[in-house]
């Protein structure tokens, strides 16, 4: 689509056709949907004698469904394989370059938005280029099919009409197939690929939360032994913004006179589900031992912590 001839006259153009006959053939190929728009575009290309970029909103937002909707099945396959592979290759090259050259200088909070931004810019650039040449591409397809029917059925209008309506027009099935593919791709990303990225992030946050809570509990336990009271005013010096720690004499779900409560916070996509979950180390007055409970489920909670 991006490598269309811009020769004069346009490819497959049949000069001997009368304007009325050309319009009739175009109507049969385009079908009733947005016929006026495409007839206007085709007339512009015919008059100027060469192909040029024109804007096409549907191709910008949903190129694959548009190709399937317009029955360009083989082109849709090529676009989805070669086109998307080209986009992905460029995204990978850009991300790897930035990862090694600049990512270590970027604060953690901006690293993921930067990665998403790079991928989005490359994808938008590709969509922009496709959208500029889609009308020229569709015009070329129409002229090719019309040239074929003139050669194959030079005097048989019924056969010409049947051929162009079969090869042109629109397909609601193709449109549904295109959007169905997008839904399937999103499900695959959500089920298969997103957890691959999320799991290390999840482990990092949980490890930090447990480490901070356990370290605080050790300090509190030592002070408790020395004073016999819960040191609720013990200063806590942690730079970790994703874990909030407090020392209290009460804890939900535990009989205690002293507890360290670590709450996970400020965690972003794709592990936002960890926000507001807690790890609680609490002192048992009856046995003078410290126990751990967690609001996390059994899969995520530390091995020695009971779940609520």
Over range 13-34, report the average pLDDT.
Answer: 93
Q: Phi and psi at residue 261, in whole multiples of 5°? A: -110, 120
Q: In this predicted structure, what is the pLDDT of residue 268?
A: 87
pLDDT at 7: 56
Q: Given strand 259-264, what is the order of strands in its sheet?
A: 243-248, 259-264, 278-284, 289-294, 306-307
Q: How many CB atoms lie within 10 A of CB 140?
A: 20
Q: Quote the tokens at residue 297.
A: 């489920």
At residue 9, the pLDDT reads 62
Cis peptide before 45 (omega within 30 of 0): no
pLDDT at residue 262, as a whole number: 94
Distance, CA of 107 to CA of 176 (rounded, Å):
42
**CB contact at 8 A, 262 and 213:** yes
**CA separation for the pair 305, 296 (Å, rounded):** 9
136-156 pLDDT, tens digit per residue, is 999 999 999 999 999 999 989
Runs of H (alpha helix) within the chain:
19-30, 35-48, 57-61, 63-69, 73-78, 84-101, 108-152, 157-167, 172-188, 194-227
Digit-coded pLDDT (tens) for 78-87 = 998 998 889 9
The pLDDT score that the predictor gives to residue 139 is 95
pLDDT at residue number 2: 47
Per-residue pLDDT averaged across 24-38, rounded? 95
Predicted pLDDT of residue 239 = 72
Residue 308 pLDDT class (50, 70, 90 cuts): low
pLDDT level of residue 3 (50, 70, 90 thresholds): very low
pLDDT tier for residue 97 given thresholds of 50, 70 and 90: very high
* Number of alpha carbons in the 13 Å side-chain half-sphere of residue 158: 0
Of all residues in the chain, what percent carry a pLDDT higher than 90?
66
CA dihedral 174, 176, 177, 179 (to 10 degrees): 120
Domain ranges of the chain: 19-170, 224-307
Q: Answer yes or no: is pLDDT of 246 > 80.
A: yes
Closest by CA to 261, choosing from 206, 202, 212, is 212
Find the mean pLDDT for residues 165-191: 91
pLDDT at position 194: 83
Q: Sign of torsion, CA 10 15 17 21?
A: positive
Tell me whether strands 243-248 and 259-264 are parallel, antiparallel or unpaired: antiparallel
Contact status, residue 83 vs residue 125, Cβ threshold 8 Å: no
Spatial distance between the Cα atoms of 65 and 80, rounded to a whole number of angstroms:
11
What pLDDT score does 184 carry?
92
What are the tens digits of pLDDT across the range 189-229? 888 888 888 889 899 999 999 999 999 999 999 999 999 99
Q: Give whichever of 15-19, 107-111, 244-248, 286-290 has the largest mean pLDDT.
A: 244-248
Residues 33-56: what's their mean pLDDT? 93
What residues contact residue 35 under an 8 Å CB cut-off, 6+ apart? Answer: 27
pLDDT band at 274 (very low <50, low <70, confident <90, very high): very high
Q: CA-CA-CA-CA torsion for 119, 64, 89, 192, nearest 10 degrees?
A: 70
């Amino acid at each position: 689509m991006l490598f269309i001839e811009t020769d004069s006259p346009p490819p497959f153009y049949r000069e001997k056709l009368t304007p009325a006959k050309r319009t009739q053939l175009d109507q049969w190929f385009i079908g009733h949907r947005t016929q006026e728009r495409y007839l206007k575009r085709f007339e512009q290309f015919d008059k100027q004698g060469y192909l040029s970029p024109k804007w096409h909103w549907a191709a910008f937002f949903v190129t694959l469904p548009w190709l399937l909707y317009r029955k360009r099945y083989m082109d849709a396959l090529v676009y989805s394989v070669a086109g998307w592979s080209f986009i992905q290759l460029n995204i990978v090259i850009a991300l790897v370059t930035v990862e090694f050259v600049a990512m270590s200088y970027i604060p953690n909070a901006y690293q993921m938005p930067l990665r998403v931004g790079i991928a989005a810019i490359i994808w938008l650039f590709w969509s922009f280029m496709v959208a500029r040449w889609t009308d020229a591409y569709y015009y070329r397809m129409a002229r090719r099919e019309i040239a074929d029917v003139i050669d194959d059925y030079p005097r048989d209008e019924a056969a010409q009409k049947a051929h162009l309506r079969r090869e042109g027009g629109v397909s609601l099935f193709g449109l549904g197939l295109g959007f169905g593919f997008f839904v399937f791709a999103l499900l695959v990303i959500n089920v298969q690929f997103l957890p691959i990225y999320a799991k290390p992030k999840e482990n990092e946050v949980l490890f930090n939360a447990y480490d901070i809570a356990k370290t605080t509990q050790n300090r509190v336990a030592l002070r408790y032994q020395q004073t016999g009271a819960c040191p609720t005013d013990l200063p806590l010096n942690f730079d970790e913004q994703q874990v909030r720690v407090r020392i209290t004499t009460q804890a939900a779900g535990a009989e205690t006179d002293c507890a360290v409560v670590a709450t996970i916070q400020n965690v972003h996509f794709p592990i936002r589900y960890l926000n507001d979950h807690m790890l609680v180390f609490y002192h048992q007055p009856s046995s003078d031992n410290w126990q751990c409970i967690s609001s996390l489920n059994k899969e995520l909670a530390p091995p020695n912590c009971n779940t609520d």
